Structure 1
Amino acid sequence: MTEPITARVLRELTAIRRQMKVSAQELADRMTAAGYPIKRSVIANLETGRREEVSVGHLAIAAQVLGVDAATILRHAAPCPRCHNEPPAGFACQTCGTAK
């Protein structure tokens, strides 16, 4: 079964946040300052899967304050239309680049 797109979007956001060495509290502070009030606990619940849905507003503001393009996050999170992120073993998809 394919992982839900919301989980993949949140995984992408979390990876970006961690790569940029931004704490969950700092992300919450930046998002609040950008006009999207949010608590660190909500971010933690989203990142750990205790909360399963993310709004378009959350994605847009989180991407903005992290300096990334929300559309890029969505492209990485959406399943490949050709291989559905499951290319045959030993091959790489020529559309998305996923390899197994």
Structure 2
Amino acid sequence: MAAVSESSLAIGPVGHNVLENVRRLRLAQGLSAQQLADRIAERGGKLDRPAISKIELAKRRVNVDDLAELAEALGVAPADLIAAAPDCRQCHGAPPAGFQCRVCGAAL
């Protein structure tokens, strides 16, 4: 089995859109990563809490099956996870350092 290079695991701009949207939508729905994982499991999906955390931290790539599971559990279309996140009316994506926006979930 060939070793996987670190560059092959790099997350591109669309991948970053997905991780930002998953986190934003999860927090907007008041869900913990475990609760999202439970929703996915109830629908027969395989993503667990550690996988969701790794996705949100850009430590795990999302494949099309993951994208479908996440979208269904969050009640959105897969395209909504791929699209650039809308600008937050509260913090505009840049909350004060050390704080997390209660509207979009952004944190610096």
TM-score bin (small chain): 0.5 to 0.7
Task: For residue 4 of structure 1, report the CA deviation from its aligned partner.
Answer: 2.1
In the alignment of these two chains, the number of paired residues is 74
Rounded Cα–Cα distance in structure 1 between residues aligned with 2:81 and 2:58: 18
Q: Greater relative contact order (Cα 8 A, min sep 6): structure 1 or 2?
A: 2
| Corresponding residue number in structure 1 for 2:91 | none
Match of 1:60 in 2: 68
TM-score, scaled relative to structure 2: 0.61
Deviation at 1:33, TM superposition (A): 1.4
Gaps of 5+ in 2: 1-11, 86-108
Runs of 4+ in 1 over 3 A off after TM superposition: none
Identical positions, percent: 35
Kindly indicate whether the alpha-carbon contact (under 8 Å) linking 2:18 and 2:83 is maintained by their aligned counterparts in 1: no
Larger Rg: 1
Aligned AA (2:19): L
SS of the residue corresponding to residue 72 of structure 2 reads: helix
